[in-house]
Each structure stands twice: as structure tokens, then as C-alpha cells.
Structure 1
């Protein structure tokens, strides 16, 4: 009999309500972070900036997410964890209001910086918080709920943003997220229990992991993979508008197909990981994603070909985080919290750099250039992974 089985019904309800409130917060954070992907063109036009500059709205949130993910643990150790999480959600609420009201590109970037702090802070604390909220045997189920919020936002945020943005304007889309975040804040305030401060993990311990050869190669591959993916993903709308000739409604269909395919990618990766295909997946998934990216560039002039490539892109891209999370649990099992913080920082830094690279290529070369640049980074990632031996701690030792 598990611990949760002997808990009072009210305590179990409170526990899962708290986890549910965190899952909704994750969904809102992901939706807010990547909404500009589907609204890049109207944002750039309204704020009198280039599309490449507007894409930096994702990059700037990535930069501040890196800072938050590295610094939040020492800061949070001084306060009740409940209050810290509520502060992150409140910060997201403020940022969304500022984005919707932004009178200029500078204000947009300030608002996105605040959002980045919320993203990095919340994600860096999420796993450790779940461990404190639920019994050990229920941690996998609780984490599954958290990542389901991620999957739902990935699937529906971008297409809904493109569709509603076409009808009502991009500012209304961001305003539309505000009531959901406010409800989420109230839900968290009601369901999250007090979680007194615990001893913090110093930054020196986190960065000390990079002295391990396997971790250093792993983080390099992580950054190349995510930078390559987001150099492309951030600028899919300009490419599809210019090369495929889609309007707002067709764009929403393509993005919905990409998002729905991510569920298949997540499920397939999980099934293959159970058969111990971790290192082949880490090598071949970025290569396959690069191939599909180049295929989109070559065949994207036809709508149905673009739709097929977008679905393939979504499935492959969704499988990658599942594999790297498994690698983290397997190869840094002795330092899961430090490894998790390092992974969040690496991913967010990669999102920032990938978005910046793609924006520069878009502004100075062509709408297809971000796809070429992204594919190149993905190929480099596969080269770093190699046959996987350099990512394994036992071999490196």
C-alpha cells in the first residue's frame, strides 16, 4: 500500500490540485514564451521593426530565463517555496499586460525579459517542488502532468495565436492569456501548501558538473540541438508566408498539425527509450530534423508538402527533449537538481542564441536562411553526440 493510499481524501485532493495548478502554469509559460512565433509579422509591422528584430522577443526571454534558472535556487532558499512560485506567476501576469500594451519595441523587450525571469525561475524549481509535494511513488505521475501542460501549450498556443491574431490583432491574443494566468494565480494561492526554505545548492556545485567530460559534451550537444531547432522554429511564419503563400487561417492549420504531431513524437520516443535506444536517438533525431528542415525549404512552395514537413518537424522536435531528460536522469543521477538547473540554463541559452542567429540570417540573407542555419547546427549536434560513448559517464571515467 502506498503513502497516498492512506492519506485522507481531502489531503489527496489538495496534493493533486497543487500539481494541477503547476501544470496550468507551465502551459501558460510555454504559450506566452512562444506565442510571438505565430504573431511575428503583425508584431513587427505594428512596432515598426523588422521580423528579425521581433524574433529577438523570444531570444531576450531566453537570456533572462538563463539568468533566473542559475540564480533562483540560492535566492529561493531564503523564502517559502510557495511564495516564490506565486511570485513567478505574478511576474508572468505583469509581463503579459505589458506586452499587450507595449507602445514600442523597447517596451516589448522589457516585458519579455520579465517573462524570461518567470520561465527560468519556475522551470528550475518545478521538479524539486513536485518532489516535495507528492510521495515518491507518485512523482512520475506528477511530472507527467507537468509535462502534459507543456505538450498542450505546444500543440495549441501557436495555431490559436495565428488564428485569433488574424481576427482581432496580436495585442488581443496576449490580453486573452491574462484571465487564464489570473485564475492560475488564484488556484496556486489556494492549493499550494507552505514549503519552508531548505539549504540551497551553490552555483559552484552546479558549474562543477561541467568538469565531467560526459556532461560537458552533453551540454554542448543540447545547446547545438535546441539552438538549431529554434533558429528555424522562430521564423517559420515568415518562411511560410513568403514561400508557401499562406494566410493566417492556413498558417494556423500548419502550426496545429505541427503541434498535434508533437504528441506522437513524445509517445514514440518514450516507447523507443524503453528499448534502450537512447544514444542512437540522441544522434539520429537531430539529423532527421535537419533533413526535414531542408525538405521544407525545398518543397515548401506546395501547401500539402509543407503540411507534411511541418508535421514531421513537430514529431521529431518533440521527441528530442524526452531523450535529453532521460539522459539527464541516467548520467547525472547523483546530482539531479544541479543537473536539472544546468540543463534548463543550457536550453534557454540555446533558444536565445538560436533565435538571434535566425533573426540575423533572416534580416541579412533570406527567409530560407534561418532554415539552413538551423539545419547546420542540428548536424553539428549529431557530430558531437557521435556513437554516444562520450556522453556516458562510465566510459569517460
Structure 2
């Protein structure tokens, strides 16, 4: 039977989880880590972001089938991120009186519904509407992911647990972009989304079995968000996160058209190149986690500058296979530290309101994804794929400068 896991139960000797998990002791911050639940959170990240990233891998066949330009089809990412912004901002507030487990499970249900509707979409309008459903799920989940994870392990293991959960991001990139790209050509992009539907259903079952019941924590009101934003260094960090993801998703959302039109790769070559991105990103997520623990600000600045330089080099040398493959792989490694470092930063800066702070950060990230996807699509249609990688470097460099001069990485 599920039990409430909450600091208010500090008098209890132990709190039972699911049958496969050890008991969690909550007195004086001694707690047995619930690694099964941490893995369930990681799988939630993987399934949700697989669905989010899929348009980047199947953009060309999806646009061809729906009879629209690749730039317009890429707005599937824009629709998702706009809805994600709304979900991230309002989920903590609207669900503040609900147990966290059923709320988290509801996001997996929305994921399954969205993927199924996308697979059946008769036109771009229907597809964009289905992607809005996904965006609400992703935004809500991300707003709660860090706050939930840090309650599943003792304080000394928080960084490790967050790294495990964040490893779902590169895992999703490996599944969605290279595998999705290949299957989208040899089978159908609709089949790809049906497979994503099945993945979401499997994750729902695992989460239902593994996640403990967690009472809501924090205030989550509008005044809480305002209070967080006015704390020293927080506003600048939130704005920097927006710039980071504007630049990155200006790149990432249109990598397939670049590899096809500039590098001249077919479906297999695109899949192999994007697999290199995913594999290096996966490896880097663990390396960067260690770096972020020791030198958080330096990690962020170095990786943002590296991504911007790699994008500019790709726009110049990406027409040749070997440089393109190497630069995309290095880009994957460099980006790996950004989600881990950003999450570490907000949980460190707002320890008393982690859920609201994370929701605010996620909303800023989705705003950046929206601007990157929308702006990248316009640049792609007007100026070509190479120009996307020049334009995307600008917000990345601005973000690095902002972090270096204005952002704090430790609470006062």
C-alpha cells in the first residue's frame, strides 16, 4: 500500500514504498534512497522528451506527407514549447493540494493521448493541437521533476539522483532523433509516433508501480514566483536560461534539414550522425554532472561558448561529412551539461521553494525553445539551413556573458 512521504511525518520510524523499494526513514534527514522511483522519473523524462524531440528526426517526411514546408512542420516544436511554458508555470499552483504521484501519472496519460493523435493527424492544424497536449504534460512534469527527485534520496545523494533523472534527456535524443529519423524513412513517421505511444504506456505502468505517494510541498502561489524572481541573481539566471535554449533549439530543431541539404546525407547518414550526438550527450551528462558539482558557473559558461563556436564551425565546414560528424558529436557532449547545471543551479538557489523555482526555470526554457524553434524555422525558409547555425550562436554568447557577470551560483 502507498503511504504519504512528507517531512510532517518526521516522528515515524519508516515510510513504506512499493514492494520493491526499501523503507524510507524521514527523521533527521536520514532516508534510504528510493532508486526504483528515481529510475521511474528518468523513464518519464525519456518518454516525454522522446515525443518532444521526434519532429526533429522525422521533419522531412512529416512535412512531405502533410504538404507543408519543413519550416512550418518545425512549428510542432513551437506549439509544444508554448504549451510547456503554460504547464510549467501553472501546474504547481493548480495541483498544490494534490498528492504528487497521481499528478505525475496524469502527465504520462497525456503523453499517450498526444502521441496517438499525432500518429493519426490528417493535417498540420490537427497535429499542432495534439502537440499542445504534449506540451502541457512536459511542462507540468518538468516543473515537478527536480522537486520530486530530491525528496527520494538523502541530501548527500541529490546530485547523483538528478544526474540519473537528467540522463533521460540524452536517452531520448538517441531514441527520438537518430532512430526516429531512420524509421521515419524506412517505415513511416506515423509508425514512429505509434511506437512512442507504446513507450509512454509502458512508462505509465512502471511509474504506477514504482513511485511513492508524495504530499505537496511549498506555497506555489503567484506571489511565490514574484518572490523567487526578485531574489539576488535569480532573474538574470532565468533570462540566461531563455537565451540558452533559444540558441540551442534554433540549432537542434533544424539539424536534419541541415544534414540533408548542406552535408548531403541520406536517411542512414542522418541517423548515424544524430546517433553520435546522442551517444556523446549521454556520456557527457555524467561527466558534466561532476563538473557542475565542483564548478557550476564555469561549467555553464564553457559549455555555452563551446556550443556557439561549434555551431559557427558547422555552418562553415558542415558540407563535408567528417567535420560535420565530429562537430555534431562535440556539440552533443557540450550541451549535456546544460540541463544538469541549470537544474543544479535552481535547486541550490531556491531550496525552500524548489517546485515553484523549477517551474519558473522550465517556463523560461520553454520560452527559449519557442523562440528558437520559431526563429529557426523562419531563418531556414528565408536564408537556408547554414544560416540557422549562425543566428543561433548569438543568444548563446549573450547567455554566457550574462552568467559570467550577473548570475550567482550560491544562495546568499
| 2:357 corresponds to | 339
How far did 1:348 drift?
1.1
Say if 2:167 and 2:282, in contact at 8 Å, map to a contact too. Answer: no
Cα distance change, pair 310–393 in 1 and its aligned pair in 2 (3 A): closer
Deviation string, structure 1 residues 129-181 (Cα, Å, up to 9, x no partner): 23444555554444333222223112332110011111101000011122221
Cα distance change, pair 86–281 in 1 and its aligned pair in 2 (3 A): closer
Distance in 1 separating the partners of 2:264 and 2:363: 36
How far did 1:351 drift?
0.6
Cα distance change, pair 335–179 in 1 and its aligned pair in 2 (3 A): closer
How far did 1:371 drift?
1.0
| 2:314 corresponds to | 296
1:188 pairs, out of 207, 213, 221, with: 207
Deviates more, 1:341-350 or 1:6-15: 6-15
Say if 1:206 and 1:341, in contact at 8 Å, map to a contact too. Answer: no
Give 1:302-381 correspondences, 5 Å limit.
Answer: 302-381=320-399
2:21 pairs, out of 5, 8, 12, with: 12
Say if 2:181 and 2:270, in contact at 8 Å, map to a contact too. Answer: yes
Q: Does 1:159 align with 2:178?
A: yes
Deviates more, 1:212-221 or 1:44-53: 212-221
Distance in 1 separating the partners of 2:69 and 2:79: 16
Q: Does 1:279 align with 2:288?
A: no
Question: With structure 1 as the length reference, what TM-score do the two structures score?
Answer: 0.91
Deviation string, structure 1 residues 208-264 (Cα, Å, up to 9, x no partner): 322235112111211111110100110011111011110000000000001111133
Say if 2:53 and 2:172, in contact at 8 Å, map to a contact too. Answer: no
Unaligned runs of 5+ in 2: 1-11, 24-33
How far did 1:29 drift?
0.4
Say if 1:53 and 1:359, in contact at 8 Å, map to a contact too. Answer: yes
How far did 1:21 drift?
2.5
Distance in 1 separating the partners of 2:342 and 2:137: 23
C-alpha RMSD of matched pairs (Å): 2.6
Say if 1:25 and 1:184, in contact at 8 Å, map to a contact too. Answer: yes
2:406 pairs, out of 364, 374, 390, with: 390
Report the 3-state secondary structure (helix = DSSP H, G, I; strand = E; otherwise coil) of the residue aligned with 1:368. Answer: helix
Report the 3-state secondary structure (helix = DSSP H, G, I; strand = E; otherwise coil) of the residue aligned with 1:72. Answer: helix
Give 1:130-279 correspondences, 5 Å limit.
Answer: 130-134=149-153, 136=155, 139-197=158-216, 200-276=219-295, 278-279=296-297
Deviation string, structure 1 residues 102-137 (Cα, Å, up to 9, x no partner): 000001100100000110111111223234445555
Deviation string, structure 1 residues 11-37 (Cα, Å, up to 9, x no partner): 626944433332212110010000110
Cα distance change, pair 6–109 in 1 and its aligned pair in 2 (3 A): closer
How far did 1:274 drift?
4.5
How far did 1:307 drift?
0.2
Cα distance change, pair 109–216 in 1 and its aligned pair in 2 (3 A): same
Question: With structure 2 as the length reference, what TM-score do the two structures score?
Answer: 0.87
Say if 2:297 and 2:409, in contact at 8 Å, map to a contact too. Answer: no
| 2:8 corresponds to | none
Say if 1:290 and 1:375, in contact at 8 Å, map to a contact too. Answer: yes
Distance in 2 separating the partners of 1:294 and 1:373: 9
1:64 pairs, out of 62, 78, 83, with: 83
Say if 1:213 and 1:393, in contact at 8 Å, map to a contact too. Answer: no
Report the 3-state secondary structure (helix = DSSP H, G, I; strand = E; otherwise coil) of the residue aligned with 1:12. Answer: coil
Cα distance change, pair 171–8 in 1 and its aligned pair in 2 (3 A): closer
Cα distance change, pair 135–322 in 1 and its aligned pair in 2 (3 A): closer
Deviates more, 1:298-307 or 1:20-29: 20-29
Say if 1:31 and 1:157, in contact at 8 Å, map to a contact too. Answer: yes
Task: Give 1 or 2: higher helix fraction.
Answer: 1
Distance in 2 separating the partners of 1:242 and 1:62: 26
Distance in 2 separating the partners of 1:229 and 1:17: 32
Distance in 1 separating the partners of 2:170 and 2:322: 24
Deviates more, 1:173-182 or 1:332-341: 332-341
Say if 1:207 and 1:342, in contact at 8 Å, map to a contact too. Answer: no
Q: Does 1:125 align with 2:141?
A: no
Distance in 1 separating the partners of 2:215 and 2:14: 25
Deviates more, 1:312-321 or 1:63-72: 312-321
